[in-house]
Amino acid sequence: MEKFKATVLAVLGRKIDDRMMKGDDSMLLVRKHRWLLFALVIATFNPAFADPVEKHQKTPHGGMIREAEGLHAEFLIDKNGEPKLFLYDKAMKPLDRSDLQARLTVKAHGGTEHARDLKFAKDATLGALFKGEPIKGLTDWDTAVVSLKVKDRWTHIRFSHH
């Protein structure tokens, strides 16, 4: 990626230098195009413009994945209304982090909020996870905020359902 950017910039610079040596009067136009192409390259390859991970990657449990504090969090609410949180390292290997505290606040589309403490558990089929008491009657939700206490401070991870 960096090699490509450097090559594009080198070629652009070389063409501009060649035109300057020939005394071309269109240097203002070339400069405008150079900056336009440079901006296009940066916008195309800048990770800030990338799509979220979950759109391109199948998640292990069918939830949504976000990154925070050097770990990945996968969140879902199953068909019974039970919230589940799975933690992974940067390579998406499951983490056993029973030392963390986790809390959840879910906002439904109707505006009601539901709060749950998420407790660490080890499931024979699912592995290590945090889960909370089922949220009765929740059929659809708008926003969920998972708060994790990492190294004596709280980190908040926001998940949007739509």
Q: Mean pLDDT score of the chain, rounded to an integer?
A: 79
135, 83 contact by CB (below 8 A): yes
Helix ranges, 49-131 (H)? 53-56
117, 102 contact by CB (below 8 A): yes
Question: E strands within 9-82?
Answer: 64-68, 71-77
pLDDT above 90: residue 110: no
**What pLDDT score does 42 carry?**
59
Distance (Å, rounded) from C-alpha 114 to C-alpha 141? 10
Distance (Å, rounded) from C-alpha 40 to C-alpha 95? 39
Mean pLDDT of 43-57: 47
pLDDT above 70: residue 91: yes
**What pLDDT score does 118 carry?**
97
For the chain, the farthest-separated pair of C-alpha atoms sits apart, in whole angstroms, at 76
pLDDT above 70: residue 20: no
Q: Using alpha carbons, list the distances in angstroms from residue 154 to 36, 106, 113, 125.
A: 42, 17, 20, 29
87, 128 contact by CB (below 8 A): yes
Distance (Å, rounded) from C-alpha 117 to C-alpha 129? 13
Counting every residue written for the chain, the total comes to 162
pLDDT above 90: residue 24: no
Cα–Cα nearest to 102, from 88, 81, 83:
83
Percent of the chain with pLDDT over 70: 64
Where does the pLDDT of residue 49 fall: very low under 50, low under 70, confident under 90, or very high at 90 and above?
A: very low
Distance (Å, rounded) from C-alpha 141 to C-alpha 5? 42
Check: pTM over 0.85? Answer yes or no. Answer: no
